[in-house]
Structure 1
Amino acid sequence: MLHFLFVKFLSKETAMNRKNGSKSRSDVRESLLKRQQELLILLDGQRGQLNGHQDGADLVDDAFEEIANTIGSELIDIINQELLLVELALQKVSDGIYGKCEACNKKISKTRLSIVPYATLCARCQKKAEGGNHHYSRKRQFKR
């Protein structure tokens, strides 16, 4: 039986922090450690599903399993990427540089950090990094 794993990008605690505002350094560290543990559990479960290969009775079963394994491998990559970001954020907390943009060296907004606690760039630099220099708005789209 195939179980699909949906990676949750925001934990309940992260959602609560958006409502409560800023967090102390120890609170940030605790949240990051909690997310790290969640990701390790997800990673272990997903790897277990990939290792549970069974030979299918026919080509359809084999094809379905191949698709499931491809999706599982992609999920493992996503989990690993987030895990690396969390570990980097934990190191920054330890070094006392958590919350500084790696590009412009300015503070990352508390709102952004409450949503993406492992953000390495401020919103402005992130937009530039993604090539988001669009001057497009919905008003222009629907203007007659």
Structure 2
Amino acid sequence: MTMNNYHIFKEKLLERKNEIIKILNDLTNEIKELTCSEVCDEGDEAMSAMDSGRKQQIYITLKNELEEIDIALKKIDEGTYGICEMCEEPINKDRLLVKPYAKYCIICREIIEKEGKNKK
């Protein structure tokens, strides 16, 4: 992949980063409202806690994605973007178009997933 193609991925990454930051800000406000609001009864309190828990899980997932995006942006700046961290071969362009912050090629990702399932 040439450096000329990097701008496509950098734009996608920056666009997604801005989306995530906005969602995280909205979630932070919603979580604060849920924890600070007056709760009517035990049922409402339980629903509020479940809703808060779901929002916190989404928040954590998005924070992780944001970290992956920042790593990918740094790799673009360093000229190491699009290289599998495991086999050091180029990651397929179609894979990067779907997941621009991918760290691994398809084959290595499958190996990692299989190892992860075997450890559980």
Same fold (TM over 0.5): yes
2:27 pairs, out of 46, 64, 71, with: 46
Distance in 1, matches of 2:114 and 2:5, equals 33
Offset, 1:24: 1.7
Task: Work out whether residues 101 and 120 of structure 1, in 8 Å CA contact, stay in contact via their aligned partners in 2.
Answer: yes
Partner residue, 1:62: 45
Q: Give the aligned length.
A: 110
SS at match of 2:10: helix
Distance in 1, matches of 2:11 and 2:96, equals 14
Higher helix share: 2
CA shift digits 1:60-104 (9 cap, x unpaired): 110100000110110001100110111110000000111000000
SS at match of 1:52: helix
Task: Work out whether residues 55 and 62 of structure 1, in 8 Å CA contact, stay in contact via their aligned partners in 2.
Answer: no
Task: Work out whether residues 43 and 76 of structure 1, in 8 Å CA contact, stay in contact via their aligned partners in 2.
Answer: yes
Which residue identity lines up with residue 38 of structure 2 in the other structure?
Answer: D
> Normalized against structure 1, the TM-score is what?
0.74
Partner residue, 1:74: 57
Offset, 1:117: 0.6
Partner residue, 1:31: 12
Task: Work out whether residues 9 and 97 of structure 2, in 8 Å CA contact, stay in contact via their aligned partners in 1.
Answer: no
Offset, 1:27: 1.9
Distance in 1, matches of 2:96 and 2:21, equals 21
Offset, 1:31: 1.3
> Normalized against structure 2, the TM-score is what?
0.88
Which residue identity lines up with residue 65 of structure 1 in the other structure?
Answer: S
- The Cα RMSD (Å) is 1.2
Offset, 1:113: 0.6
Long gaps (5+) in structure 2: 116-120
Long gaps (5+) in structure 1: 1-22, 133-144
Which residue identity lines up with residue 64 of structure 2 in the other structure?
Answer: Q
Runs ≥4 residues deviating over 6 A: none
Which residue identity lines up with residue 87 of structure 1 in the other structure?
Answer: D
Offset, 1:111: 1.0
